[in-house]
Amino acid sequence: MTRGSYHRTVVPLWLTALTERIVKETRLFPASINHVLVNEYLPGQGIMPHQDGPLYFPVVAILSLGAPTLMKFMPHSKFATSIKKRIYLSANSNSDTETVLPCQLPEFHDVDSFNTISRRKENFHPSTVKDVTYTSVEPLSGLPSSTNLLRSKGREQCLENDTEAALQHEHTNTVSVALMPRSLLIFKDNAYQDFLHGIDECDEHILDGKVANLSSLCHKAYSCSVQSSDPRELSSAHGLDPKDTDIGHNLLENQGKTYQRSFLKQTGTRVSLTCRYVPKSFSRFIRL
């Protein structure tokens, strides 16, 4: 990703039209969007996991143009720390007995936390985005409200396992969202505060069960759940379109079975517009 310098400038009309529409249709921003960051990603470029920080109002709208990509949301390490603490305390108080340690996950699966705008591939320029329709991504499946993280018998074993438990926690609770061309992702509240977001540095993003909006792509993509010994059956049975340029497929052999794996191809340039609101009290800390 190339990060240029910030420009204080008059927001062009085509952009105001877009941001005002986002404000009006989502009703999630307290005032007009006054901060738009334009990022360009060459094929294979991504962005490190990060949080956008306290200067912004905690609602972000990201318009994606050009090549598709996959954004990952992973729990902030503060949750790993609290897991460690709980493991330690629990192990101390129950050193001889087997302990099951529950971990409350953040409320991440509000339907409202993620919205997409219908995908349409036409022009690269955001001024042409006129037909914006919102569709909710389904509640994130596979995210239980509490998880039994670790069974252990004593303090030593707990301490040995806590890093593993933290990693397990991160892995279990990472979700991703396919950002298709001309789509708008909105994330807010605890998806903003409790999770890091980032894009892996690669040009093929595996579409697995962690992709929250997989069903919106499912006429074209599916992950390793389907199997057949005859690869030809796979393609015909699922109506996969070999001409789709955004999604690729390959076949994997495992223990005599053939699995099809689908992936998003980030082979062209992607441009994103990250739209946020900086409250007046913070605007002196950031160039507007």
Ligand X SMILES: O=C(O)CCC(=O)C(=O)O
Interacting residue ranges for Fe ion, rule: CB under 5 A? 52
Provide, for the chain, the percentages of residues in helix, strand and coil under a 3-state DSSP scheme, each rounded to the nearest 5: 25, 30, 40
Least separation in angstroms between residue 52's CB and Fe ion is 5
Please work out the total of residues on this chain that contact ligand X, with binding judged by CB under 6 A. Answer: 8
Least separation in angstroms between residue 105's CB and Fe ion is 22
129: Cβ contacts below 8 Å, ≥ 6 apart = 18, 63, 117, 182
What SS3 class is residue 265?
A: strand
* One-letter amino acid for residue 161 of the chain: N
Q: Which is nearer to Fe ion, 35 or 249 (CB)?
A: 35
Residue from 65, 67, 272, 277 that binds ligand X (CB under 6 A)? 272
What SS3 class is residue 269?
A: coil
Residue from 37, 159, 286, 288 that binds ligand X (CB under 6 A)? 37
Q: Which is nearer to ligand X, 204 or 228 (CB)?
A: 204
Q: Which is nearer to Fe ion, 198 or 248 (CB)?
A: 198
Q: Which is nearer to Fe ion, 25 or 52 (CB)?
A: 52
d(CA 240, CA 242) in angstroms, rounded, equals 6
| 39 sits near ligand X (criterion: CB under 6 A) | yes
Q: Residue with the closest Cβ to ligand X?
A: 272
- Crossing angle, helix 77-93 and helix 155-173, to 10 degrees? 150
Q: What are 35's strand-pairing partners?
A: 276
81: Cβ contacts below 8 Å, ≥ 6 apart = none
- The structure tokens listed for 133 are 């329709």
Q: What are 174's strand-pairing partners?
A: none
What SS3 class is residue 125?
A: coil
* Residue 39 binds which entry of Fe ion, ligand X, none, CB below 5-8 Å type-dependent: ligand X
Q: Which residue has tokens 């991703």? A: 176
* Residue 99 binds which entry of ligand X, Fe ion, none, CB below 5-8 Å type-dependent: none
Q: Which is nearer to ligand X, 45 or 99 (CB)?
A: 45
Residue from 11, 15, 52, 153 that binds ligand X (CB under 6 A)? 52
* Residue 35 binds which entry of ligand X, Fe ion, none, CB below 5-8 Å type-dependent: none
* Residue 25 binds which entry of Fe ion, ligand X, none, CB below 5-8 Å type-dependent: none
C-beta atoms surrounding 187 within 10 Å: 23
Q: Which residue has tokens 């969202």? A: 177
* Residue 272 binds which entry of Fe ion, ligand X, none, CB below 5-8 Å type-dependent: ligand X
Phi then psi for 118, rounded to 5 degrees? -50, 145
Q: Which of residues 192-231 bind ligand X (CB under 6 A)?
A: 197
Q: Which is nearer to ligand X, 61 or 240 (CB)?
A: 61
Q: Which of residues 103-132 bind ligand X (CB under 6 A)?
A: none
Question: Are 183 and 116 within 8 A, CB to CB?
Answer: yes
| 184 sits near ligand X (criterion: CB under 6 A) | no
* Residue 37 binds which entry of ligand X, Fe ion, none, CB below 5-8 Å type-dependent: ligand X
| 15 sits near ligand X (criterion: CB under 6 A) | no
200: Cβ contacts below 8 Å, ≥ 6 apart = 46, 70, 72
Binding footprint of ligand X on the chain (CB under 6 A): 37, 39, 47, 52, 62, 197, 272, 274
